[in-house]
């Protein structure tokens, strides 16, 4: 497929033609107005004489192409986002001058205007292949090069890139052809940066604008002093100033931890972290200059879970400086070499080098639950995924690549031993410095260090999809001494592979002194095959609860023995260890969504846990899956009654929580999502919080909480669009505009849903973040009556969305416009029909639609299961 997509075969063919060393000289003129910028790219590269290849470029206009001194006609050589290069020499120079377009979708060079002060902020985002939106480039990871950037920008702007700035030339307010700057009264400068080390194009970066800035330095382990900086919008300067020293400190702890753990000091010239608006991802590991979404600059109170996630994100991107940047995958099938390692290492670093000591419980509740969800869809894939083209790559930034991969790495550490694992990593980093590597390269180093054959392990864990289930079988004598303990492993029929597991079985009992449930014994063992006897358990006293996968060492579904299951449901809130609670809760949630544990039992267990849970991410996910259970999995005939009951319990818990606590804050936020039309008690509580007539001690109604209340009132049609506009006018900021769009889309009227649908699909002036708010609110609050008309509309629109939107916008729309509140039977029928009729659709589109439809199948199945039971919560 030619054009914006790139196949693996094409990339391999181009790699066989294009040879290094390769050097880029990229000049960007950012003074051409609010829509476009001028890009000039000169590339020096080797090639097989007489061969042909192509450059990647997405541009409005190509002004000129000069290859080896010869002018080429752009009309002849530029088509389908490619520039054809024929009759290449052994050494070549090509210069491409083009007019490129700023994006408002977070792809390429994004341009954001802050309504609070009118400031313009630019930042680049190039992963997977969006450097081509900014300059002509061989945009694939294994064609590494040295990059030289120069940028023309307004005099007052800060301009940053991967390398330190080495010169700034005053151009006296004009560009080379006399075009004035965007601000006519302001001068213009040309900034030059030093040459980069050899690197992949997707890791290059440019940021420009009147960012606020802070600076410090780090005494690197190799004796160098590494300059460090942080940047954010001026509107967030005061909020950022409160956290700058803390974030610098976290980053420095990461430098030290990674250098010590891997034996390789930080390799680059500087380290900037720039917090940018309207960002699609959490952050991006551009070499020497990480971009991070500026929702991580906290103007209002946030959950401890989000505060911890910010730390993990900072450390995740820092880990990429080694995994992904210093050593890069050859092709996107080894994306996990980047993401799984960064996710694993950032969690390890967070747990061992920061104050967030329960980071592995956070990982279990948050990241691992994401993996388990996606791994049970037909769209699952091996961790080392087959990637045939770029569109396949996009959809693999998922729970398999990140969370399952990280969990399997934790298992690998247990399998080969921590010291040997990191010895192998040290050899891997040193052997492939500034180059590309594959899974085979990594395994060779780990095998050499550990002495263990990892070929079979890799095939089962990394190259096969799906998840196993380990269940516990136990028998005891009359004295309650264990006579047999077996672990039974099963696999799904469509991914029938049994894996080796290094794990532990924990024995848990009540501590009489505290009343807590604590671990009193543990057995470590290797499990392989269908059934494994735990010989070391025979003769020991049966505990109140048996936890297979104690310490969460492996990646598997769990099924407890009958007595342990009953004990967990009654006593989960009493378990002393945060990680044990997270592992048990995740197993209970998995059973619930599989239709094996009644929704009633999961709801009562979770409500009891929420009264005492101290780990913020577990608390957050418990609230989220409680909501899913209540609104989608419960008995349909009693759903409204159950939802009202749970809402009442959440309000009671919020009122009883410690004033100002994270639990109180999260409980109120969860309660706000339970409103229904005509619920006078809900309206009174929320309206009271909004106008101050209802007070929860310690709850601060700051900017974001105020907008959460507005959203909740709009969702029960108490807040009008006019009132929302009045609230926005009081403080018109980037964030509040997004909140306002979401509130309007959340209103429970047919007119509001029609408006939201139209805005999401057809208002091209919406930024990516505004569109996301509209789409999520459209489907997030709809009743079945309002959602049903959009079942047919959704499937009619899916192909149009894919053809007419950029990938990230299509991903948002196809995911968030799915009318989940509609009758699941209607969604299943329409979805299955669409899939049957579109077997030839692009695989990435099919995967997104399939995931939605299969979740509707699950919803119908689980709801039917619970409808067949006695579901009175007061019994």
Residues designated as active site: 317
Nearest CA among 283, 286, 385, 387 for reference residue 336: 385
146 C-beta neighbours (distance < 10 Å), count = 16
Pair 743, 708: CB distance under 8 Å: no
Terminal Cα distance for the chain, rounded: 60
Pair 617, 365: CB distance under 8 Å: yes
Pair 436, 327: CB distance under 8 Å: yes
Pair 800, 765: CB distance under 8 Å: no
Nearest CA among 813, 786, 789, 785 for reference residue 799: 813
Q: Cα separation of 143 and 200, whole Å?
A: 7
Cα dihedral across residues 374, 380, 382, 385: positive or negative: negative
Asked if omega into 128 is within 30° of 0 (cis), the reply is: yes
Nearest CA among 800, 588, 860 for reference residue 868: 860
Query: What 3-state class would DSSP assign to 109?
Result: strand
Cα dihedral across residues 173, 178, 184, 189: positive or negative: negative
Give me the count of residues in the chain.
Answer: 875
Kindly list the strands in the beta sheet with 557-559, ordered across the sheet, starting from the edge strand earlier in the chain.
531-533, 482-490, 469-476, 557-559
Q: Cα separation of 348 and 357, whole Å?
A: 9
The partner residues of 94 in beta bridges, in order of sequence, read 43, 67
Identify the burial level of 179 via C-beta atoms within 10 angstroms of its C-beta, where 0-12 means exposed, 13-18 middle and 19 or more buried. Answer: middle
Packing angle of the helix pair 616-628, 578-593 (nearest 10 deg):
10
Identify the burial level of 90 via C-beta atoms within 10 angstroms of its C-beta, where 0-12 means exposed, 13-18 middle and 19 or more buried. Answer: exposed
Phi-psi region of 556 (alpha: psi -120 to 50; beta: other; left: phi over 0): beta
Q: Cα separation of 822 and 829, whole Å?
A: 12
The partner residues of 230 in beta bridges, in order of sequence, read 214, 273
CA distances to 329, 597, 638, 783 from 857, rounded to whole Å, are 37, 17, 20, 19
Tell me which residue has tokens 């009147």: 210
Nearest CA among 434, 383, 374 for reference residue 406: 383
Pair 129, 183: CB distance under 8 Å: no
Classify each residue of 344-380 as buried b or exposed e, where b means 16 or more C-beta atoms within 10 Å of its C-beta. Answer: bbbbbbbbebbebebbbbbbbbbbbbbbbbbbbbebb
Nearest CA among 293, 422, 268 for reference residue 348: 422
Nearest CA among 146, 15, 131 for reference residue 81: 131
Nearest CA among 296, 253, 247 for reference residue 272: 247
Nearest CA among 481, 530, 522 for reference residue 503: 522
Q: Cα separation of 307 and 242, whole Å?
A: 13
Classify each residue of 668-700 as buried b or exposed e, where b means 16 or more C-beta atoms within 10 Å of its C-beta. Answer: bbbbbbbbbeebeebbebbbebbeeeeebeebe
Tell me which residue has tokens 């954010």: 232
């Amino acid at each position: 497929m030619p054009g914006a997509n790139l196949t693996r075969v094409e990339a391999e063919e181009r790699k066989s033609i294009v040879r290094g060393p390769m050097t880029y000289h990229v000049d960007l003129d950012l003074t051409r107005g609010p829509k476009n910028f001028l890009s000039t790219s000169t590339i020096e590269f080797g090639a097989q004489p007489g061969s042909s290849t192509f450059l990647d470029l997405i541009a409005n206009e190509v002004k000129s192409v000069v290859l080896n001194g010869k002018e080429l006609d752009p009309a002849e050589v530029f088509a389908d986002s490619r520039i054809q290069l024929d009759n290449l020499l052994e050494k070549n120079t090509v210069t491409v001058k083009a007019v490129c377009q700023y994006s408002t979708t977070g792809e390429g060079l994004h341009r954001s205007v802050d309504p609070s002060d009118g400031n313009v902020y630019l930042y680049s985002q190039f992963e997977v292949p969006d450097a081509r939106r900014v300059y002509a480039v061989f945009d694939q990871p294994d064609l590494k090069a040295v990059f030289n950037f120069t940028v023309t920008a307004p005099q007052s702007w800060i301009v940053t890139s991967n390398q330190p700035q080495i010169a700034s030339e005053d151009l006296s307010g004009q560009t080379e052809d006399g075009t004035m700057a965007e601000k006519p009264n302001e001068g213009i400068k040309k900034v030059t940066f030093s040459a980069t080390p050899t690197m992949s194009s997707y890791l290059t970066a440019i940021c420009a604008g009147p960012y606020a800035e802070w600076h410090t330095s780090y005494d690197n382990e190799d004796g160098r002093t590494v300059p460090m900086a942080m940047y954010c919008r001026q509107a967030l300067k005061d909020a950022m100033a409160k956290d700058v020293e803390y974030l610098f400190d976290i980053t420095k702890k990461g430098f030290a931890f990674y250098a010590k753990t891997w034996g390789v000091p930080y390799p680059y010239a500087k380290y900037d972290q720039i917090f940018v608006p309207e960002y699609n991802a959490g952050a991006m590991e551009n070499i020497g200059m990480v971009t991070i979404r500026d929702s991580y600059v906290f103007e209002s109170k946030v959950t401890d879970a989000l505060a911890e996630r910010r730390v993990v994100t900072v450390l995740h991107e820092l880990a990429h400086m080694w995994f992904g940047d210093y050593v890069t995958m050859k092709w996107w099938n080894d994306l996990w070499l980047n993401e799984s390692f960064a996710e694993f290492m950032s969690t390890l670093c967070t747990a061992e080098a920061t104050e967030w000591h329960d980071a592995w419980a956070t990982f279990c509740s948050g990241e691992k639950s994401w993996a388990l969800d996606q791994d049970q869809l037909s769209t699952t894939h091996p961790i080392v995924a087959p990637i045939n083209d770029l569109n396949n790559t996009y959809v693999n930034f998922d729970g398999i690549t990140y969370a399952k991969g990280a969990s399997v790495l934790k298992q690998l550490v247990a399998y080969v031993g921590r010291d040997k694992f990191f010895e192998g990593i040290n050899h891997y980093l040193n052997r492939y410095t500034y180059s590309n590597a594959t899974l085979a390269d990594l395994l060779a180093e780990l095998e050499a260090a550990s002495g263990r054959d990892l070929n079979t392990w890799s095939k089962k864990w990394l190259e096969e999809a799906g998840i196993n289930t380990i269940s516990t079988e136990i028998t005891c004598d009359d004295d309650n001494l264990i006579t047999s303990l077996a672990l039974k492993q099963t696999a799904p029929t469509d991914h029938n592979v049994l894996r080796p597991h290094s794990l532990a079985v924990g024995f848990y009992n009540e501590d009489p002194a505290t009343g807590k449930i604590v671990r009193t014994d543990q057995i470590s063992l290797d499990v392989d095959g269908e059934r494994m006897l735990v010989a070391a358990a025979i003769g020991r006293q049966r505990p109140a609860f048996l936890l297979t996968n104690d310490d969460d060492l492996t990646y598997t579904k769990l099924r407890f023995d009958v007595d342990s299951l009953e004990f967990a449901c009654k006593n989960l809130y009493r378990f002393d260890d945060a990680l044990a609670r997270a592992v048990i809760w995740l197993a209970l949630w998995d059973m619930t969504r599989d239709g094996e544990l009644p929704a009633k039992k999961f709801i009562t267990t979770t409500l009891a846990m929420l009264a005492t849970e101290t780990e913020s991410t577990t608390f957050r996910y418990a609230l989220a899956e409680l909501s899913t259970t209540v609104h989608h999995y419960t008995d349909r005939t009693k759903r409204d009654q159950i939802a009202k009951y749970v809402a009442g319990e959440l309000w009671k818990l919020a009122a009883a929580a410690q004033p100002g606590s994270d639990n109180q804050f999260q409980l109120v936020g969860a309660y706000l999502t339970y409103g229904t039309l005509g619920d006078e008690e809900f309206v009174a509580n929320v309206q009271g919080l909004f106008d101050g007539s209802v007070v929860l001690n310690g709850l601060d109604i700051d900017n974001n909480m105020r907008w959460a209340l507005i959203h909740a009132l709009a969702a029960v049609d108490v807040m009008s669009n006019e009132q929302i506009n009045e609230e926005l006018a009081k403080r018109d900021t980037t964030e509040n505009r997004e909140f306002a769009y979401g509130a309007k889309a959340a209103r429970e009227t047919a007119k509001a849903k029609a408006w939201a649908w139209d805005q999401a699909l057809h208002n091209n002036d919406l930024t990516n973040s505004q569109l996301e708010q509209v789409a999520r609110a459209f489907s997030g609050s709809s009743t079945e009556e309002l959602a049903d008309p959009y079942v047919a509309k959704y499937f009619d629109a899916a192909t149009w969305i894919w053809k007419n939107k950029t990938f990230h916008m299509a991903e948002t729309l196809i995911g968030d416009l799915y009318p989940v509140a509609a009758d699941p039977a209607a969604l299943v029928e329409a979805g299955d029909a669409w899939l049957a009729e579109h077997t030839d659709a692009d695989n990435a589109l099919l995967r997104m639609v399939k995931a939605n439809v299969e979740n509707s199948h699950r919803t119908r199945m689980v709801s039917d299961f619970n409808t067949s039971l006695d579901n009175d919560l007061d019994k």
